[in-house]
Amino acid sequence: MPDFRQNPLTGQWVIIAPERDQRPQPARAALESLPNFDNACPFCPGNERETPPELFAYRFDHSQPDTPGWTVRCFPNKFPATKLDAKEVPTPDSIAFAPKNPTIVQLGKTDSKLCEHQPATGQHEVVVDSPAHDVPFAAQGDRQAALIIETLRHRSRMLIQARDVKYISIFKNHGRAAGATIDHPHFQILATAIVPPVANNMLLRQESFAKENGRAFFDVLLEEELELNRRVIAANDEFVALSPFAPQAPCEMWIVPREPVPFFGELGDEPVRLLATLLRDLLHRLQSRRGDPDYNLVIHSGPRTLRAQDHFRMFIQVFPRSTAPGGFELGSNTFINPIAPEDVPNLLRAASEP
């Protein structure tokens, strides 16, 4: 019997319908085997001139910026979704990139009561995981995985200081079904002057939960999940990885800090190291146990407008893309998920586990 479930963090409903997993799966294109280096790839070493000047890179060989020798490299997106003036980014290692002839959207008459708009102020950056064109995050070593997450944290700390930035979205699109247009593994950072409704909604719901229950939402969630132990996939001293009660996507995962950390940029060095290894392991399980599905990974961090007394906690969400949303999903914003979250820990059991 399908189960109608509400996500307590977002209020969104999903239908868990395991019977639907029996349906024929669309044939997946054969896994492309990528080369280790692609001369046509703007993210590969040697092609640094194909990207805007770098903002930050880990270089352990004293090589010059915008030359090979980096291990993780960050630069502005060549085709940004948002733009920030150079003077807004407050650090010496930041050079904001803005096209010489920006295209301004012409709206004509602007006194509409319905069509609210403002310039898309912000910064859009790319963080390339490693020089290797063919090594996904799931296959990185401990140290490289930690350097990647450290780079994301560093840029997040810089960007949150820019005057107009209210929110920083960090994400990874893995595979074409997840929206990736360049195969070379990378993260993206989008700093915006608006707080997205999703973040606002999560904040409001965590506030009202705390008011009603006298305890933080994620404290209760972790306590219940660890006690029940049906949806917990893995855990370490700092983080718990679980399949949420009402997941939108098959094998959706949340990685939640045990401590009430509101901003991703506030994570300390040891939590970053443990997060990097845990994330790499989870993605490796997804790749090896579920046939390497395309996925989106999102780091949810608190909006800059957060007050000290607010209860927002950062967390990470991984959405595998093994099913494409259909008309019912798009029309109702209610997702049908053929895999019950209680089955996910077993489906993603690491090869070394019993």
Residues lying near Zn ion in the complex (CB under 5 A):
38, 41, 43-44, 133, 184
Residue 133 or 231: the one with the smaller Cβ distance to Zn ion is 133
Shortest distance in whole angstroms from residue 72 CB to Zn ion: 14
Q: What DSSP state is assigned to residue 121?
A: B
Shortest distance in whole angstroms from residue 68 CB to Zn ion: 12
Residue 43 or 245: the one with the smaller Cβ distance to Zn ion is 43
Neighbour-count burial of 327, counting CB atoms closer than 10 A to its CB (0-12 exposed, 13-18 middle, 19+ buried)? exposed
Shortest distance in whole angstroms from residue 46 CB to Zn ion: 10
Half-sphere exposure of 188 (CA within 13 A, CB side): 21
Shortest distance in whole angstroms from residue 162 CB to Zn ion: 29
**In degrees to the nearest 10, what's the CA dihedral of 167, 168, 174, 176?**
50
Residue 187 or 264: the one with the smaller Cβ distance to Zn ion is 187
Shortest distance in whole angstroms from residue 166 CB to Zn ion: 33
Look at residue 211 and give its three-state secondary structure. helix
Shortest distance in whole angstroms from residue 129 CB to Zn ion: 10
Nearest residue to Zn ion, using CB? 41
Residues contacting 313, CB < 8 A, separation 6+: 206, 216, 217, 218, 256, 257, 260, 261, 262, 302
Residue 44 or 256: the one with the smaller Cβ distance to Zn ion is 44
Residue from 212, 226, 282 nearest 254 by CA: 282
Look at residue 270 and give its three-state secondary structure. helix
Residue 33 or 101: the one with the smaller Cβ distance to Zn ion is 33
Residue 126 or 251: the one with the smaller Cβ distance to Zn ion is 126
Residue 43 or 137: the one with the smaller Cβ distance to Zn ion is 43
Residue 43 or 295: the one with the smaller Cβ distance to Zn ion is 43
**In degrees to the nearest 10, what's the CA dihedral of 193, 302, 273, 292?**
-80
Residue 133 or 284: the one with the smaller Cβ distance to Zn ion is 133
Shortest distance in whole angstroms from residue 183 CB to Zn ion: 7
Shortest distance in whole angstroms from residue 139 CB to Zn ion: 15
β-sheet bridge partners, residue 336: 15
- The Cα–Cα gap between 239 and 241 comes to 7
Shortest distance in whole angstroms from residue 84 CB to Zn ion: 26
H helix and E strand count, the chain: 6, 13
Phi, psi values for residue 99, rounded to 5°: -60, 150
Residues contacting 197, CB < 8 A, separation 6+: none
